[in-house]
Structure 1
Amino acid sequence: MSDQRASTATTDTRRNGPAGPGPRPGMAYLATTTRILRQLRNDHRTVAMILVVPALLMTLLYFVYQDVPATPAQETTLFDRVGISMLGILPFIVMFLITAIAMQRERTSGTLERLLTTPLSKLDLLGGYGSAFSLAAAAQAVVACLVSFGLLGLEAAGNPGWVVLIAMVDAILGVALGLLCSAFARTEFQAVQFMPLVAAPQIFLCGLLVPRSQLPDWLEVISNVMPLSYAVDALHEVSVHTEPTGLMWRDLAIVAGFAAVALSLGAATLRRRTA
């Protein structure tokens, strides 16, 4: 019996490696974050899309409204009113698209399936993705706000730093929703198809085109359950108040809460196999 047990233990060691403590808590999460950041650093097109595209679109928006005269009834120019909202919307769109495609690429290449056969948990995996892309989102928000406030003359009553914070949280929301939607796609093309389904209604109803209070009652109810509405409301608070308000913090907390829920749902719906 002792020889049989020794033989079994040897076989288990060969299959699973020597017995010992598992990976320290947080190590798998940090390793995933580092891996994604390395991939981003080597993908120059993605880096350009994250950092450059929102700034270029803000510049385009500036020239669109450059010669539009302001009416006496308007307290701010059209560029100031629309531009500060777009600083929250553009990071959301860009990070949603990039994250959904990147995660789907991991799945179709088989990388995701191999990772989930290791001690790496689903929450570690999505948390690592969320952290890596959140750092990219922070850089994106800083660049877009520097260009908008420093070069294009965008004006807000509040400190531009609060705009950077809101834009960053909104980009993290895009990351979380991109991870969630990628769980329901089988190809990168299907991941892209979620963009009009998830982003377009929020853009239409967030208050950018028409103040939410002027929407039909049933559309206002729908807008109240869309996180982008609260991001735009928080940016509006910064644009008209010199100091952060309670409403701004409330709206920002709601956006962050949506992101946390989306990330948790993404972990719950993440499929182990590619097919």
Structure 2
Amino acid sequence: MNVGIYASSTGRILRQLRGDHRTVAMILLVPTLLMVLLYFLYVNVPPTPGQPPLFDRIAITMLGILPFVVMFLITSIAMQRERGSGTLERLLTTPMAKLDLLGGYGTAFSLAAAAQAGLACLVTFGLLGLTIAGSVGWVVLIAVVDAVLGVSLGLLCSAFARTEFQAVQFMPVVVIPQLFLCGLLVPRDQLPQWLEWISNVMPLSYAVDALQQVARHPGATALMWRDLAVVAGFAVVALCLAAATLRRRTP
């Protein structure tokens, strides 16, 4: 990776984002608005005795899931748009390496993800009254790492798509099974054993586990750090695989 080319690639993508107001609005506002919708969905549901309010239990998990889903969708479509317009092929005829290009995408969208996570947490904790035992800062960190995972997987999946529609088709294959098995619908230890084994190799499961650790404990725990490291490791591996599978020429 060439640092100068990588920085130039990051700057180019950030300038493109700045000029695409719809994408910026989707990145920044969609997770926050969905959290508001979730609040009003559960605001009148009576709490179970001895349990935290249902909104608190679900919202802390969704703060990690929504950035992952949104950034996966946006990144996979954005990369495919670069390929379809011929921009990607022109860039890869220059001295720019594949990892320079994808690293620039990862960094630019990660910065956008940090703003996204900060805004969603500000509204959820400040206005909607979500309460947890741990620090809000850890929630923001986990949400950002989860969004970076979505970016990396989006870049990887886009390498196998030829159109934007095909890029979107990877969602039910890559994203939805993780939503089902991450512990959002059913605790992972209550899944059938074979499904629990599958959930153990899905990165979103570890992001949800890390958020649950923050919700229950006032300080950072060893399990939280382990789960966060697993998610970050998946993101790095996905980015490297995306660089390895990225085609220099559009079929």
Partner of 1:143, secondary structure, is: helix
Structure 1 Cα separation of the partners of residues 229 and 217 of structure 2:
18
Aligned residues: 251
Structure 1 letter corresponding to 2:110:
S
Question: Which whole-Å deviations, capped at 9, do the CAs of 1:46-90 have from their partners, x for residues lacking one?
Answer: 00000000000000000000000011142x111000000000000
Structure 2 Cα separation of the partners of residues 272 and 257 of structure 1:
26
Structure 2 Cα separation of the partners of residues 230 and 247 of structure 1:
10
Partner of 1:184, secondary structure, is: coil
Give the counterpart of 1:187 among 156, 159, 163: 163
| CA-CA distance at 1:196 after TM superposition | 1.2
Question: Which whole-Å deviations, capped at 9, do the CAs of 1:217-255 have from their partners, x for residues lacking one?
Answer: 000000000000000000000000000000000000000
**Is 1:95 aligned to residue 79 of structure 2?**
no
Structure 1 Cα separation of the partners of residues 132 and 248 of structure 2:
47
The equivalences for 1:142-221 within 5 A come to 142-221=118-197
Structure 1 Cα separation of the partners of residues 214 and 190 of structure 2:
21
**Is 1:34 aligned to residue 35 of structure 2?**
no
**Is 1:238 aligned to residue 214 of structure 2?**
yes
Tell me how large the CA RMSD over aligned residues is: 0.8
Q: Please list every run of 5 or more consecutive structure 2 residues that lacks an aligned counterpart in the other structure.
A: none
**Is 1:225 aligned to residue 201 of structure 2?**
yes
Partner of 1:58, secondary structure, is: helix
Question: Which whole-Å deviations, capped at 9, do the CAs of 1:126-165 have from their partners, x for residues lacking one?
Answer: 0000000000011100000001000100111001010000
Structure 2 letter corresponding to 1:51:
L
Structure 2 Cα separation of the partners of residues 94 and 158 of structure 1:
25
Give the counterpart of 2:243 among 267, 271, 274: 267
In the superposition, the TM-score normalised over structure 1's length comes to 0.90
**Is 1:110 aligned to residue 116 of structure 2?**
no
Give the counterpart of 1:70 among 47, 72, 78: 47
Taking only the aligned residue pairs, the percentage that are identical comes to 76
Partner of 2:132, secondary structure, is: coil
Larger Rg: 1
Structure 1 Cα separation of the partners of residues 235 and 35 of structure 2:
25
The answer to whether the 8 A contact 2:2-2:100 is kept is no
Structure 1 Cα separation of the partners of residues 28 and 214 of structure 2:
23
| CA-CA distance at 1:25 after TM superposition | 3.2
Q: Please list every run of 5 or more consecutive structure 1 residues that lacks an aligned counterpart in the other structure.
A: 1-23
